[in-house]
Amino acid sequence: MRISLAVIPGDGIGPDIVAQAVRVLDRIGEIYGHDFSYRTLLAGGAAIDRTGVPLPDETLQAAKESDSVLLGAVGGPKWDDVPSHLRPEKALLGLRGGLGLFCNLRPAMLYRQLADACPLRSELVEGGLDVMVVRELTGGIYFGKRGRTDDEAYDTMSYTKGEVERIAVKAFEIAMKRNGRLTSVDKANILETSRLWRATVDEVAKAYPDVTVNHLYVDNAAMQLVRNPKQFDVILTENMFGDILSDEASMITGSIGMLPSASLRSDSFGMYEPIHGSAPDIAGQDKANPLATILSVAMMLRYSFDLKAEADALEMAVDRTLDQGWRTADIFTEGMRLCGTKAMGQAVVDNLE
């Protein structure tokens, strides 16, 4: 397969971790006979420094022409004081919006080797944890009409049936490939958008008789996530609820440097990035954990290019690397093998063989 990727290292540890992910991809290309080509693009603070804006037109255009995007992270203290429309994070919103990425996938995986990092009682997560949060990304209150006067402000949450349908279809398709359980989260006792959401999810569900569906109110879902997280397989929810619940689910794993994400649309195109930020405190020091970005590459292989064997092999290589005791400082515990960003990338490459 010939695959052309837009690679956006970004700021802080972005270049460190993306370099390892690209190295892993190259090795997968060699082993499985794929030709990955890369176009490196500017976004975030690095783009502000070079061009004056966080998302240059050229970057968005080149991303559109690629088969998918691999992104590191953007932002850092250097750009904290720039006007809000020029902040590095605007690049992320611009890319998601400009590329039409309405479906955000946030897996929260607790690796058995890192179970001690989980802040919950061990019996609650015995045998590991594997929850997939499917968050609607381009609608809802973050994009609705808003306004402000001296003593009043408002934001509007609105969804069309079509917007709910397309994300629900994505979530059901994913549930089919996982354990066949889908929990749709809303606030249908209060919100009209939630009542449309719930009715639409039930309608879409008819086409997926093998998926078991239940509905939870968002307040209950937030509680259940810490009370009994193993009840969840796929959680489907709207933009703001998903923003909050996906972070909550991530924290249960206790390892921010391990978690990938994908932002998709209806075709195979996607943007893949770790959930963590640019970690300016450890940038350029060979300390960052590259596994979240490497696992984002596994998601890319699986969701954009349907390369299941390659994605499985990569996830297994990460698992084996953890089994061998390799740990960057963020996940290090006594008795393990402390390593840097590059050595961790190398260990994954070695384990691909």
Q: How far is the CB of 285 from ligand NAD (least distance, A)?
A: 10
243 tagged catalytic: yes
Instruction: Report, in Å, the least distance between residue 107 CB and ligand NAD.
Output: 16
Half-sphere exposure of residue 111: CA atoms within 13 angstroms, side-chain side: 21
Catalytic pick among 57, 202, 219, 281: 219
The CA distance from 310 to 344, in Å, is 19
Catalytic annotation, pick one of 67, 187, 233, 303? 187
| Helix, strand, coil percentages, rounded to 5, for the chain | 50, 20, 30
**What would the two tokens of residue 151 be?**
């003593």
C-beta of 82 vs 226, nearer to ligand NAD = 82
Point out which residues pair with 288 in neighbouring strands.
none
Of residues 35, 49, 252, 27, the one with CA closest to residue 133: 252
Which residue's C-beta sits nearest to ligand NAD? 277
Residue with tokens 């190398």: 346
Between 67 and 243, name the residue whose CB sits nearer to ligand NAD: 243
DSSP state of 257: G
Q: How far is the CB of 273 from ligand NAD (least distance, A)?
A: 6
Distance set, CA 138 to CA 164, 166, 167, 168, 285 (Å): 11, 12, 10, 14, 35
Give ∠ CA 14-249-323 in degrees, rounded to 5. Answer: 65
Which of 6/13 has CB closer to ligand NAD?
13
Q: 51 or 212, CB closer to ligand NAD?
A: 51
| Tokens 């490497």 belong to residue | 294
Of residues 26, 64, 130, 142, which has the active-site annotation? 142
CA distance 180 to 29: 31
Q: Hey, is 267 helix, strand or coil?
A: coil
Residue 23 C-beta: closest distance to ligand NAD, Å: 16
From residue 56, give the alpha-carbon distance in Å to each of 84, 262, 263, 270, 271.
16, 22, 20, 19, 17
AA identity, residue 121: R
| Binding stretches for ligand NAD (CB under 6 A) | 13, 17, 73-76, 89, 92, 256-257, 273, 276-282, 288-289, 292, 328, 330
Residue 187 designated active-site? yes
Nearer to ligand NAD, 157 or 295 (CB): 295
Structure tokens given for 74: 């953007």
CA distance 298 to 99: 21
Q: Does 202 qualify as catalytic in the annotation? A: no
* Cβ nearer to ligand NAD, comparing 106 with 265: 106
- 247 belongs to the catalytic site: yes
Compute the least distance from the CB of residue 294 to ligand NAD, in Å.
Answer: 10
Minimal distance in Å, beta carbon 77 to ligand NAD? 7
**26, 130, 247, 350: the active-site residue:** 247
Q: Which is nearer to ligand NAD, 182 or 245 (CB)?
A: 245
338 phi/psi in degrees, rounded to 5: -65, 130
Does residue 208 carry a catalytic annotation?
no
Q: Report how far apart, in Å, the C-alpha atoms of 18 and of each of 27, 123, 193 are.
A: 14, 35, 39
Give the Cα separation of 331 and 318 in Å (integer).
14
Q: Which residues are catalytic?
A: 142, 187, 219, 243, 247
